[in-house]
Homo-oligomer: A and B are copies of this chain.
Amino acid sequence: MTSEATTAPVIRADGRTADQLRPISITRGWSKQAEGSALIEFGNTRVLCTASLTEGVPRWLKGEGRGWVTAEYAMLPRATNTRSDRESVKGKIGGRTHEISRLIGRSLRSIIDTKALGENTIVLDCDVLQADGGTRTAAITGAYVALAEAIRFARENKIIPASSQPLTDTIAAVSVGIIDGVPMLDLPYVEDVRAETDMNVVVTGSGKFVEVQGTAEGAPFDRDELNALLDLALLGTEQLAAIQRETLAEAP
């Protein structure tokens, strides 16, 4: 945060200052079946991200010598405080699920050199086991780790050449919002529902924007508020990028 004066004194329900992330934990390789996986926690939000690598690409991409990365997001029925019906039982996927799946896929593709991936496909499945706000940003941040692991797997198993570098950068995401006029970082559910403005920001390891999705839930927001939120988001994603680096640096 640029302006300590404004936000630092606010102490939130969970004891954090306005510009603090929740405790972040990433357990790499949580799933033994997938080529890459990570169980990521942003406080009580817990998302299992797996990366499934298969040779070949969707039909519309065949023969172009490029790979494909896509994502699917879902929530267990009792990830939330009250149980929701399963989308498989309802027979259709809701708009919110679709929207988040597309966001995760776009975000990860933004740091992939599909030529270097060869004609291979990686599907990122992000299943929310427990939800407490920020599930889509945790999913993007965790999916990056699963993706990096799957690419390491591809290299080690000679699916792509050892010299291939399909990852052009790292990627992380965080939510920010304005509550009672104060911009805050990484909102848990209890803050999220009260936010006047809610923004999800996806940022590369080099500090550039991939997605900026700001929504006025209550009152519209002005240019200054937008800037304060972007400052907070950059602060948070920088820390997330550091945690990602550490996690991936550990021996597998």
Contacts and interface: CB of A to CB of B under 8 A. Distances in A.
Contact of A80 (B33, B81, B98, B209): B33
Given A87-B88, A212-B212, A220 B110 contact: yes
Interface string A46-79: 0010101010000000000000000010101111
Contacts of A95: 93, 95, 98-99, 101-102
Contact of A74 (B86, B169, B208): B86
* This chain: copies in complex: 6
Contact of A215 (B33, B86, B123, B211): B211
Given A86-B88, A88-B88, A92-B91, A127 B212 contact: no
Contact of A78 (B33, B89, B102): B33
Contact of A99 (B50, B87, B102, B211): B102
Interface of A: 31-34, 37, 44, 48, 50, 52, 54, 72, 74, 76-83, 86-99, 101-102, 106, 110, 123, 125, 127, 129-131, 169, 199, 204, 206, 208-216, 219-223, 226, 230
